[in-house]
A and B are shown apart, each in its own frame.
Chain A
């Protein structure tokens, strides 16, 4: 697959087959099959220990699967992890920012690492998007948690990724910034952005997503689309899985 972004034949953003992940004897993901079209927004729910963060790490290419195949934008994770990384932005509950550096310097660093063209103007753009122009020259460690997370969003979207992976991105984010995060999502050159959003909160997740997946004990126990949502069924499965995990 050549990965051509054509409105007629667009490759799947994610094609996951038989994905497993074990840490020694402990099986965290027990065989996931999932296909996500480009431009879709998928919310992944699940109790603690379901394997959500592990899934995100594998898709972000920072963890290797134990078995199974993962194709991102038509490219095999095993062979082309390097190339795939250019298209992925990661927002987690950790900011991934260096405390001693200023917000701007952090963005300069990541910009260099991602080979972002017109870095200076792009940084200017992102910094004002997240409303941090006034504080961009302050050391990140001196900023409040909410402000740090804003810079984290700027960092994640700096290189215009066509895929955004989010693991509890709203952690620490102040109230004003939350809509900011979601407004920033559609910003992309080709205007196609695939989002995978992992969250604990059923309400939040249901608000923003085209598709819903519930993960429990390393397996997908529910899959549904917004247009044909079986709300009662989803909530039922969700409640069952969260109550079973202690």
Chain B
């Protein structure tokens, strides 16, 4: 299983680098928390309004934080030609994709975990529940599946990070719809059955885009 050992070596390298600088975790996390606080003021502090828009608030926060985090996936690779460094290694391009995706997934999940705690504390909403956590994990997988591919693409363009939102946002609309509605159902009833059909869309997205991104990544990084 040489493929997976290299994948994890890459993910480990990213994690080590991030732990050293804490660039993503600190700046993106701060952003997420601030956005959540702003929502409190944006919605007038009315607890009923908050309750209604909570799923939307949660997911817009995660989408924006996710984009910031995903942008960081390939920027360090551009410095000092590190992406070339990866490509001269006897490792398949797909392994690079997988390694990057896994490290991005890890960072996003950490930020989302803290975000969920913040939501519970600040808004008194029962978001730390198994359904919501499941939704969060699967949706994030979808974000990362597409986002890693697009991040590699954007970093190779003239406008760099600014290109990512243009590509990313239209494509992830299906899972945002799925995540928001699933979260709404989860908050309302707390059971898996209501969440079911929405979760299926999210999982379908994850599967389709993991495969498509995996297959097309080679075209993005090789000139």
Which residues of A pack against B, CB within 8 Å?
Answer: 23, 57, 60-64, 82-83, 85-86, 88, 90, 92, 94-101, 105, 109-110, 112-115, 139, 155
Contacts and interface: CB of A to CB of B under 8 A. Distances in A.
Interface in B1-53: 2, 5-6, 9-10, 13, 16-18, 20-21
Contacts of A82: 90, 92
A141 to B, nearest CB: 9
A97 to B, nearest CB: 6
Given A63-B222, A64-B222, A113-B89, A97 B17 contact: no
Contacts, number: 81
Dominant secondary structure at the A interface: loop
13 contacts: A57-B223, A62-B88, A62-B222, A63-B222, A90-B88, A94-B80, A96-B82, A100-B16, A100-B21, A101-B16, A109-B9, A109-B13, A115-B90
Given A90-B84, A96-B80, A113-B9, 14 more contacts: A62-B222, A64-B223, A94-B84, A95-B80, A95-B81, A96-B84, A97-B85, A98-B17, A98-B76, A98-B80, A100-B21, A110-B89, A112-B6, A113-B91
Contacts of A64: 222-223
A96 B13 contact: no
Contact of B16 (A83, A86, A97, A105): A105
Contact of B6 (A23, A62, A100, A113): A113
State the main secondary structure of chain B at its contact with A.
helix
B84 A101 contact: no
Q: Please name the 9 residue pairs, one residue from A and one from B, whose CB atoms are nearest each other, closest first.
A: A96-B85, A94-B81, A113-B89, A100-B17, A85-B90, A100-B20, A62-B87, A112-B9, A109-B13
B218 to A, nearest CB: 10
B20 to A, nearest CB: 4
Nearest to B6: A113
Contacts of A60: 84, 88
A92 B80 CA distance: 10
Contact of B79 (A23, A99, A115): A99
Nearest to B85: A96
A79 to B, nearest CB: 14
A92 B82 CA distance: 11
Contacts of A85: 88-90
Interface in B136-167: none
Nearest to B12: A109
A115 B85 CA distance: 15
Contacts of B81: 92, 94-96
Contact of A63 (B13, B85, B86, B223): B223
Interface string B39-77: 000000000000000000000000000000000000010
Given A63-B222, A95-B80, A101 B17 contact: yes
Nearest to B77: A98
B80 A99 contact: yes
B76 A100 contact: yes
Contacts of B13: 98, 101, 109
A178 B85 CA distance: 22
A115 B90 CA distance: 9
Contacts of B91: 113
A85 B84 CA distance: 12
B27 to A, nearest CB: 15
